[in-house]
Amino acid sequence: MKKYSYLFLVLFVFINCKNQQAITPTGLVTQKAMVVSAREEASKIGADIMAKGGNAFDAMVGTQLALAVAYPRAGNIGGGGFMVYRKNTGEVGTLDFREKAPLSAHRDMYLDSLGNVIPDMSTKGATSVGVPGSIAGIIEVHKKLGKLSLKDIFEPVIALAENGVKVTEKQAEILKGYRKTFIEVNSDSTKFASVYNAGDVIKYPALAKTLKIIQERGHDGFYKGEIAQKLAAFIQKNGGFVTEEDLARYQAVWRDPVRFNYKDLNIISMAPPSSGGVTMNQIFKMIKPYDLATFGHNSEKTIQVLTEAFRRSYADRNYYLGDPDFVEIPLDYLLKDSYLKQRMSNFSFDKATSSEAVSHGKVEVVESMETTHYSIIDADGNAVSVTTTLNGNFGSKLYCDELGFFLNNEMDDFSSKAGVPNMFGLIGAEANNIQPEKRMLSSMTPTIVEKDGKLWMVVGTPGGSTIITAVAETILNTYEFNLSMQEAVNAPRFHHQWVPDVLIFEPDGFSPELITNLKAKGYQVNIENNTIIGKVDAILVLPNGQLEGGADRRGDDKAVGF
Ligand code: GLY
């Protein structure tokens, strides 16, 4: 008996110490500073800025702009995004540079006379364009937190645009895939009507010229004067709604982050108009009573607990969340322990909960991989987490040849009509209806995690509606299952978003037996579609202070540092 008690004690200590075990890094390890982004060129420009004495905020400005050059499917100056930061003093904050609806926008602008959603109007071409926020965002970050001059930060990006960027295999494939739509939206004289093959170098002289004006005149260089006039005229000539006045009125907004604890982690993420922080807060509170480390990584039980938390939190997301400057969000209620405990009370390991039992709705899912994320830590320990987007791949596909950049189709992130799904299959409600100057609800979840009060992880991903679940899984992969940062990013992912009531798995990585068991419990599983879920770019601070990068194998992503 004594022998068994001892065995149980050893087992108990082992299980409870599981998440205390040292992690062996498998990604790039650097001593001081790092940028992880969707393209090596952008990570390098960010890292070089820090090597020259710039801080993480200067690197953010350079990386954002370099992605607009090297990764035009999502990197942008014609879109928007969110930044979460943590200074080495422990001060945290967020910047909302999300696009806004133009002044002339109204609730039913994408409906026909019978009240039906007009196909393509909120997704393709000038009618889908929201007022861009990215330049306001980076200039605001630089003004409040930067160290180097705009001249020094812009210089390497302008050189990149002038000298050109090599097309990768993945990029060539995607450019070919969209070529027909580029021509349809822009005419066959547009830059992207050309066929680009892997290894070709694309130069961006028009974008370089635009960047020089912003380098010199800052915020007003984009939102007033020559660029604003040309941009508004271009959008309107193509049938869109953004005016010079819309551009002149645009401002980025500093907002308080969403902060919550999960065991000894303190998670800092984006507040509305992003749904990321609130939804992740709900997920982590709902899963807290379950011992995932004991269940095992991507085991049946872990997948069930997470799926049921995802299902319930997305139902709330879609109903309650919107732009806090326009709608009252009952955050105290949504994040209350007792409410979330009650939400999970009908969960059983024996049987899937039906989404109809959580709420109503049935839609087709359309997954896509747009948006991009980058993570930065500087040599002083300042951390920056940014997710930025044009919404769809290459946004609206509308490319302003004269100014050298794509325009977003972010208006589709509003609910054009309550109960009708957007391009991600997400159903919206009145909280996310269209109003002049309102920001559309987002899933972008740039996140920073502290462990025992110290900076531990910087993380985020693209992936539309799958962003929130991919970020949550990555954090848990390292925290609960001791995966290195690179392993956590590489690990196969799964996703559920309440409606459609389908559990999506990435191919290769989940056993047929697991899938069969989940189906037997009533889960409607989709593993056949070859969907990839997210492209996570993250940094982990190792116990010795070194940094491990996690650059997603699913893309051309790269960690660069020193
Ligand atoms: N456009 C994707 C998002 O904001 O979630």
Contact 484, 25 (CB under 8 A): yes
413: pLDDT strictly greater than 60: yes
Share of the chain above pLDDT 70, in %: 93
What the block records as the tokens of 89 is: 């003093």
pLDDT tier at 390, thresholds 50, 70, 90? very high
Residue nearest to atom 3 of ligand 1 (CA): 442
Q: Is residue 550 part of a domain?
A: yes
- Taking residues 68-75, report their average pLDDT: 98
Q: Which of 279, 371, 387 to mutate to test the pocket of ligand 1 (most atoms within 8 A of CB)?
A: 371
Q: Which of 128, 444, 497, 535 to mutate to test the pocket of ligand 1 (most atoms within 8 A of CB)?
A: 444
Residue nearest to atom 1 of ligand 1 (CA): 391
Of the residues 353, 371, 387, 461, only one is catalytic, namely 371
pLDDT at 213: 98
Spacing, Cα 350 to ligand 1 middle (Å): 34
Whole-angstrom Cα distance, residue 76 to residue 147?
Answer: 23
Residue 287's domain is classified under what CATH number?
Answer: 1.10.246.130
3-state SS of 359-397? CCCCCCCCCCCCCEEEEEECCCCCEEEEEEECCCCCCCC
Smallest Cα–Cα separation from 244: which of 260, 233, 256?
Answer: 233
Spacing, Cα 319 to ligand 1 middle (Å): 16
- Taking residues 382-404, report their average pLDDT: 97
Output the average pLDDT for the chain.
Answer: 92
Q: Is residue 456 part of a domain?
A: yes
pLDDT tier at 50, thresholds 50, 70, 90? very high
17: pLDDT strictly greater than 50: no
List, for residues 285-310, the tens digit of each pLDDT value. 999 999 999 999 999 999 999 999 99
pLDDT at 13: 39
pLDDT at 422: 64
Q: Is residue 380 part of a domain?
A: no
Q: Is residue 288 part of a domain?
A: yes
List, for residues 98-136, the tens digit of each pLDDT value. 999 999 999 999 999 998 999 999 999 999 999 999 999
pLDDT tier at 148, thresholds 50, 70, 90? very high
Q: List binding-site positions for L-glutamate.
A: 98, 389-391, 413, 442-443, 464
> In the annotation, is 474 catalytic?
no
pLDDT at 416: 81
pLDDT at 528: 82
What stretches of 187-275 show up as alpha helix (H) in DSSP?
Answer: 205-223, 226-237, 244-249
- Taking residues 458-481, report their average pLDDT: 97
pLDDT at 508: 86
Contact 129, 109 (CB under 8 A): no
Contact 413, 76 (CB under 8 A): no
Q: Which of 432, 467, 495, 535 to mutate to test the pocket of ligand 1 (most atoms within 8 A of CB)?
A: 467
Give yes or no for residue 391 CB within 6 A of ligand 1. yes
Whole-angstrom Cα distance, residue 86 to residue 57?
Answer: 10
Domain range spanning residue 476?
Answer: 258-367+448-555
pTM score: 0.94
364: pLDDT strictly greater than 60: no
Q: Is the dihedral of CA 330, 335, 337, 341 positive or negative?
A: positive
Spacing, Cα 97 to ligand 1 middle (Å): 12
Do you know the residue count of the chain? 562
pLDDT at 479: 98
Cα angle: 260, vertex 266, 270; to 5 degrees:
55
Whole-angstrom Cα distance, residue 500 to residue 456?
Answer: 34
Return the axis-axis angle of helices 134-145 and 56-70, rounded to nearest 10°: 160
Give yes or no for residue 371 CB within 6 A of ligand 1. yes
Give yes or no for residue 464 CB within 6 A of ligand 1. yes
Q: Is residue 430 part of a domain?
A: no
Instruction: Return all residues near 58 (Cβ < 8 A) that are at least 6 apart.
Output: 49, 50, 142, 146, 147, 148, 153
Q: Is residue 185 part of a domain?
A: no
The least confident of 4-8, 39-43, 187-191, 458-462 is 4-8
Instruction: Return all residues near 315 (Cβ < 8 A) that are at least 6 apart.
Output: 355, 358, 359, 498, 499
Spacing, Cα 382 to ligand 1 middle (Å): 26
Q: Is residue 528 part of a domain?
A: yes
Cα angle: 174, vertex 376, 247; to 5 degrees:
65
pLDDT at 428: 61
Ligand 1 atom closest to 98 (CA): 4
Give yes or no for residue 389 CB within 6 A of ligand 1. yes
Spacing, Cα 444 to ligand 1 middle (Å): 6
Ligand 1 atom closest to 441 (CA): 4
Residue nearest to atom 4 of ligand 1 (CA): 442
Spacing, Cα 342 to ligand 1 middle (Å): 29
Give yes or no for residue 443 CB within 6 A of ligand 1. yes
Query: How many domains are contained in the chain?
Result: 1
Q: Name residue, tokens 């071409």.
A: 125
Give yes or no for residue 279 CB within 6 A of ligand 1. no
Q: List binding-site positions.
A: 98, 389-391, 413, 442-443, 464
539: pLDDT strictly greater than 60: yes
pLDDT at 7: 37
Q: Which of 83, 100, 314, 424 to mutate to test the pocket of ligand 1 (most atoms within 8 A of CB)?
A: 424
pLDDT at 444: 96
Ligand 1 atom closest to 424 (CA): 2
1: pLDDT strictly greater than 80: no
pLDDT at 529: 76
Ligand 1 atom closest to 444 (CA): 5
Can you say whether residue 189 is alpha, beta or left, with left for phi > 0 and alpha for psi between -120 and 50 degrees?
Answer: alpha
Q: Is residue 532 part of a domain?
A: yes
Spacing, Cα 441 to ligand 1 middle (Å): 7
pLDDT at 387: 98
366 or 419, which is more confident: 419
Give yes or no for residue 469 CB within 6 A of ligand 1. no
Spacing, Cα 83 to ligand 1 middle (Å): 14
pLDDT at 426: 60
